[in-house]
Amino acid sequence: MRKNNMENKQNTQEKTQEQRADEREEIKETGTLQLENGKERHRIQLLTIIGEIEGHESVSGNTKATKYEHLLPRLAEAEDSDDVEGILILLNTLGGDVEAGLAIAEMIASLSKPTVSLVLGGSHSIGGPLAVSADYSFIVPSGTMIVHPVRTNGMFIGVYQSYRNMEKTQDRITEFIADHSRISQKRLEELMLDPTQLVKDVGTMLEGEDAVREGLIDEVGGISQAMKKLHEMIDARRKQQEEHAKDTESLSAES
């Protein structure tokens, strides 16, 4: 009996070590982690959006980047999985590719699972739509968000059509942010075109309280507040599902 207990204990330890190794590899490759060992026993998917948002072209090898081809499949998997009840998104990004950033933001906004975002450090440029795409957003007191007009690099053809194309792209960004936060599109454009704040550009840098005051972010808070809010949202969704199931059973019984 003692030998069997020792073998079971050893097998458990080996499984735990293998699980931790897999988790470390998952964090390294995709910046994601499954959280389900807390006292609330909610199954939460952790996603990180860090560094530059990489688009169709790879960033330099020395630049930390978030790859949209990693996040989009992970988000689709979370939506379709019964093992995921909510998603926590941690952001510390300087922005990057507009198309890739909007694609990730639209994916997050369309999820049926509860989502909470937390801005740590900064969520600049296209990081704005990513921060507001969740159901509820937080920013730490020292966190910052920079909003500025759409910019481009490389060859630029100086014709009216080029300007209109950039204007349309900017409208897509401002409309998305306005639709998923409390800031108006007009006020957002005013902040984007402010010439008095940034040294080499027009735009505005909003710190934690400022971002909340402008309506861009819902609340100032850290990881504990973000986790608490997500647990509350998951509980509310569970209750709603239970009530719906009861109503369905009642209708079935009556018929």
Extract the tokens encoding 150. Answer: 């759409």
**3-state SS of the chain: helix, strand, coil percent to 5?**
50, 20, 30
**Has 148 been annotated as catalytic?**
yes
* CB 192 within 8 Å of CB 147: yes
Residue 110 to residue 128: CA distance in whole angstroms: 17
**Has 180 been annotated as catalytic?**
no
Q: At a CB cut-off of 8 Å and minimum separation 6, what does 38 contact? A: 44, 227
Residue 80 to residue 59: CA distance in whole angstroms: 31
Q: Name the catalytic one among 42, 124, 148, 231.
A: 148
Q: Name the catalytic one among 117, 125, 137, 181.
A: 125
Active-site annotation, residues: 125, 148
